[in-house]
Amino acid sequence: MRKLLRASLNGLFLGAACMPAALSGFGRVKPVYTFFAHTCALVPGSPGDYLRSAYYLLTLVEFHMSSRVSFGSFFAHPEARVGSRVYVGSYCILGNINVGEGTQIASSVQILSGHHQHTRDSGGAVHYGGKFVTVCIGPDCWIGAGSIVMADVGARTTIGAGSIVTRSIPPDAVAVGNPARVIRSREEPSADLALGSSST
């Protein structure tokens, strides 16, 4: 019964998201895509969760309806790929990323499109439009609240709350700090540190 209800809700919200997705060229018209991504981010409660999932299913390169994007969070680039059973907490900004299945992203996380998104001219003025790269987050990761991620994170890795990832983190690791460094790996006996185990 629950599966039937969920399937019905998915169908209902896919219908609701169809027009905004179509107006955005299904993600190809970037300003329109961004407008509706911001709009969907502000819809509260379960209706918002279903609407965001439906919109991103229709506009991102890859998205699964089993994944959830919470209130205030949005994908800045329609080139993003999101695997199944991914959870995104509230107030996250997600760039050009690939997220593996089962990964959990806590609240107020920023996953940027690399390090160099701005350039400077000969006079030192800042200009938007540097080098955008795809940041890959492996499957079954935990990204702690308030983290900033600018480099790849390997599968089954935990990033502690408030950490800043500036270099790639290997699989099966626990990394914390600014800049984030590996403090434990799965091979060590007590690798299951409870770093920010809540999704708030």
- Asked if residue 49 and residue 24 are part of one domain, the reply reads yes
- Asked if residue 165 and residue 95 are part of one domain, the reply reads yes
Lowest mean pLDDT among 22-26, 129-133, 188-192: 188-192
- Is residue 107 in a domain? yes
Q: What does the angle CA 162 – CA 166 – CA 172 come to, to the nearest 5 degrees?
A: 75
The pairing of beta strand 135-137 with beta strand 97-99: parallel
Q: Domain holding 142: CATH number?
A: 2.160.10.10
- Asked if residue 72 and residue 97 are part of one domain, the reply reads yes
Q: What is the pLDDT of residue 120?
A: 65
- Asked if residue 52 and residue 132 are part of one domain, the reply reads no
Q: How does pLDDT run across 15-70, given as a tens digit for each residue? A: 999 999 999 999 999 999 999 999 999 999 999 999 999 999 999 999 999 999 99
- Is residue 10 in a domain? yes
- Asked if residue 173 and residue 80 are part of one domain, the reply reads yes
- Asked if residue 49 and residue 100 are part of one domain, the reply reads no
Final residue of a structural domain among 59, 78, 107: 59
Q: What's the structural domain count of the chain? A: 2
Q: Which structural domain range is residue 14 located in?
A: 1-59
- Asked if residue 141 and residue 64 are part of one domain, the reply reads yes
Asked whether residue 137 carries a pLDDT value surpassing 70, the answer given is yes
- Asked if residue 134 and residue 37 are part of one domain, the reply reads no
- Asked if residue 132 and residue 109 are part of one domain, the reply reads yes
- Is residue 199 in a domain? no
- Is residue 13 in a domain? yes
Confidence band for 197, pLDDT divided at 50, 70 and 90:
very low
- Asked if residue 72 and residue 51 are part of one domain, the reply reads no
- Asked if residue 156 and residue 100 are part of one domain, the reply reads yes
- Signed CA dihedral, 46, 49, 51, 53: sign only: negative
Helical spans, DSSP H, in 24-100: 30-41, 45-59
- Is residue 178 in a domain? yes
Q: What is the pLDDT of residue 195?
A: 47
* Separation between Cα atoms, residue 186 and residue 11, nearest integer Å: 41
Please name which of 112, 110, 197 lies closest in space to residue 158, comparing C-alpha atoms.
197
Q: What is the pLDDT of residue 5?
A: 80
Phi, psi of 19 (to 5 degrees): -65, -50
- Asked if residue 155 and residue 88 are part of one domain, the reply reads yes
Final residue of a structural domain among 20, 39, 59: 59
Final residue of a structural domain among 29, 59, 89: 59
Q: Report yes or no: 157 and 174 within 8 Å, Cβ to Cβ.
A: yes
- Is residue 200 in a domain? no
